[in-house]
Structure 1
């Protein structure tokens, strides 16, 4: 009889503990949902700082809850929209570190590339017409690496075609940067350095619009150095180049014609809404 009473007491205590745990989990989920919805509302009104604050709180308080993975994705997008390049890159890298096999890994690479591209941009620079391609080339090189990883490792991703278009533009901008450096040296009559940079454009950025002006500059540099045979050789090669009417010149991507950038919403994770809807839904707006 005593043994039976002890068994019944144990069952009662375990049931009570389980009930308390379930209640605590429900409370945690409700609080996490409240933070997530607050971030969603802030995103709807483009209040990215508030959205970031709510998502950071959600991740700090409920790192393993139903909303954790989706918050990690959404905050990448929120940081980007807020113009916080370093935070965007860090959030993308963190997402991959925590979720190395997640379907949204290609998205994190694409957003990392976009953020790095934007590092040399800004409303003031755009307003005064500063060519971002003539500034620090390191972020663009890092963006190129991010897009290349996406294209090579995830060829069937929804983001791969967009990454290829960004790679094409970065390739052209790399040629423009090298050409600007060559002109910098030419303006100072540093003809050897100018010639080397012009050759870099011709060899490394083949089929870009920078090649013809680079050949003209190389001719000028060789003539200034009294290397007339080399200048004539470049001139002959220059004359063999197809004219602008004959060359298959790719059109400027529409996103640059409109001075906009393709910024996809954060994809949904398997989480609070069963993989559909949510703050980062492609059809649901929000972040």
Structure 2
């Protein structure tokens, strides 16, 4: 009898523990859902700072589960919207590290490239006519690498076509940047350095509009250095090139000044929390699927 009583008592205790565990789990899910909904509501009204705060809290307090995974995605988009490039890149890299096989990995590469590509852009620079493509080339080179990874590893993703178009534009930007540096040296009669940069344009950026003016500059550099034979050799090669309609490259290209980018919000994980339509600035699913 005592043995039976002990068994029943143990069963009651275990049942009570299980019930408490279920209650804790439901309470945690409710709190996670509330944080996620608060972040969604903030995003819908374009209050990105609040959205980031809610998403960061969600990830810190509930690091596992569907809400956490979706929060990892959504915060990439939110960081991008407030112009926090380093945080956008770090969040994208973190998502890939934690979820290397997730279907949204192409999206993270796309957002990483987009943030880096636009790092030097700002409304003030556009207003005063500063051409960001002729400034620090490192972020754009990193963007080029991010887009290239997306196109090469995920050619069938929804973001591959736009990434390829951006690769082509960044390739042109790289040529323009190198040509602008060559002209900088030429204006200061630093002909050896000017020639080296012009050669870089010709060899590394073949097919761009910057090649022909780079050849003209190289001819000038060789003549200034009294290397007439080399100058005539470049003239001969230039004259054999097919004519293009591109003409000279403008000193201040305006490739991005009129461009507006519709950034896709974070895609939803399979079976992830519902809701979150795009609205005026929310973080729901993009058009189409993976």
| TM-score for the superposition, normalised by structure 1 | 0.90
Give the aligned partner of residue 106 of structure 1: 106
Instruction: For 2:245 and 2:264, locate their aligned partners in 1 and report how far apart those are by CA, in whole Å.
Output: 36
1:144 lines up with 2:148 in the alignment: no
Question: Match for residue 21 of structure 1?
Answer: 21
| Residue equivalent to 1:133 | 133
In structure 1, what is the Cα distance between the partners aligned to 2:246 and 2:80?
41
TM superposition shift of 1:256:
4.2
Q: C-alpha displacement at 1:264, in angstroms?
A: 1.6
Taking the TM superposition and a 5 Å limit, the aligned residue runs for 1:3-152 are 3-152=3-152
Tell me the equivalent position of 1:225.
Answer: 225
Q: Deviations over 1:119-149 (max 9, x none)?
A: 1111111211111111111111111111111
- The answer as to 2:290 corresponding to 1:281 is no
Structure 1 pair 122–245 and aligned structure 2 pair: CA distance change class (3 A): closer
Instruction: Tell whether the 8 Å contact from 2:209 to 2:246 is kept in structure 1 after alignment.
Output: no
What secondary structure is seen at the aligned counterpart in 2 of 1:101?
A: coil
CA contact (8 A) 1:52 1:79 kept: yes
1:244 Cα offset (Å): 2.7
SS of equivalent residue, structure 2 residue 136: coil
Moved more, 220-229 or 206-215: 220-229
What SS does structure 2 have at the residue aligned with 1:119?
coil
Equivalences for residues 158-169 of structure 1 within 5 A: 158-169=158-169
Aligned-pair distance for 1:181?
0.5
Instruction: List alignment gaps of at least 5 residues for structure 2.
Output: 248-254, 277-282
Aligned length: 275
Mapped contact 1:67–1:271 kept (Cα < 8 A): no
Q: Any stretches of 5+ residues in structure 1 without a counterpart?
A: 248-254
CA RMSD of aligned residues (A): 2.0
Task: Tell me how far 1:211 sits from its aligned partner.
Answer: 0.8
Does 2:244 align with 1:240?
no
CA distance in 2, matches of 1:140, 1:257: 16
Q: Which one scores higher on RCO, CA 8 angstroms, separation ≥ 6?
A: 2
- Of 264-273 and 205-214, deviating more is 264-273
CA contact (8 A) 2:66 2:269 kept: no
Mapped contact 1:195–1:221 kept (Cα < 8 A): yes
Select between 69-78 and 230-239 the one with higher mean Cα deviation.
230-239
Alpha-carbon deviations, 1:77-114, whole Å to 9, x = none? 00000100000011011111111111111111111111
Q: Secondary structure at the match of 1:67?
A: helix
More deviation, 79-88/212-221: 212-221
1:261 aligns with 2:280: no
Query: Displacement, 1:117?
Result: 1.1
Shift in CA distance, 44/246, structure 1 to aligned 2, threshold 3 Å: closer
